[in-house]
Structure 1
Amino acid sequence: MQIDDVLKGAYKRLTFVTDTPQLDAQLLLAKVLEVSTSYFYTWPEKIVSEAQYASFDALLSRREMGEPVAYLLGYQAFWTLELEVEPCTLIPRADTERLVEVALSVLEAQEQGASSERLRILDLGTGTGAVALALAAERPNAEVLGVDLIEDAVQLAQRNAAQNRLMNARFLQSSWFDALDNTAVFDLIVSNPPYIDPEDEHLSQGDVRFEPKSALVANNHGLADIEHIIHRAPRFLTASGWLMFEHGYDQANAVQTALCTAGFVAVESFQDLGGNDRVTIGQWPSKKS
Structure 2
Amino acid sequence: MPEDTVAAAIREAALKLGASSDTARLDAEVLMAHALGATRSEVLLRHMGAPVPESYEAMVARRMAQEPVAYITGQQEFFGLPFAVSSDVLIPRGDSEVLVETAIAERPQARRILDCGTGSGALLLAVLSQLPGARGVGIDCSSSALAVARANAEALGLAGRAALALADWHVPGWAEALGGPFDLILANPPYVEDDAPLDLSVRAFEPAGALFSGPEGLDDYRVLIPQLRDLLAPSGMALVEIGHAQADAVSAIGRAAGLSVRLHRDLADRPRVLGFW
Equivalent residue number for residue 23 of structure 2: 20
Aligned to 2:252, the other structure's residue is in SS state helix
Distance change (3 Å), C-alpha of 1:211 and 1:189: same
Q: How far, CA to CA, are the matches of 2:7 and 2:147 in structure 1?
A: 39
Q: Deviations over 1:178-225 (max 9, x none)?
A: 1532762111111000000101122x5333420010000002511111
Equivalent in the alignment of 1:93: 93
Matched letter for residue 268 of structure 1: R
Find 2:262's aligned residue among 251, 257, 268. Answer: 268
Farther off after superposition, 12-21 or 33-42: 33-42
Q: Measured at CA, do residues 140 and 182 of structure 1 come closer, stay the same or move farther in structure 2, by a change above 3 Å?
A: closer
**What's the offset of the Cα at 1:274?**
2.3
Report the structure, 1 or 2, having the larger helix content.
1
> Which residue among 175, 189, 196 is the counterpart of 1:193?
189
The equivalent of 2:76 in structure 1 is 76
2:275 to 269, 281, 284: 281
Match of 1:153 among 134, 145, 152: 145
Question: 2:163 maps to which residue?
Answer: 170
CA distance in 2, matches of 1:191, 1:5: 44
Length-normalised TM-score, structure 2: 0.93
Matched residue type, 1:98: V
Q: For the residues of structure 1 that align with 2:125 and 2:179, how far apart are their CA atoms?
A: 23
Superposed, which structure 2 residues align to 1:40-79 within 5 Å?
Answer: 40-43=43-46, 45-49=48-52, 52=53, 54-79=54-79
SS in 2 for 1:259: helix
Q: 1:189 to 1:2 in 2, by over 3 A?
A: same
What is the RMSD of the two structures over their aligned residues, measured on CA atoms?
A: 1.6
Number of paired residues?
Answer: 270
8 Å contact kept, 1:27–1:37: yes
Q: Which residue of 2 aligns with 1:219?
A: 214
| TM-score, reference length from structure 1 | 0.89
Distance in 1, matches of 2:178 and 2:133, equals 23
Identity %: 34
**Conserved 8 A contact 1:4-1:40:** no
Output the amino acid matched with 1:95.
D
Structure 2 residue runs of 5 or longer lacking an equivalent are none
Alignment partner, residue 230 of structure 1: 225
CA displacement at 1:15 relative to structure 2: 0.9
Unaligned runs of 5+ in 1: 112-117, 284-289
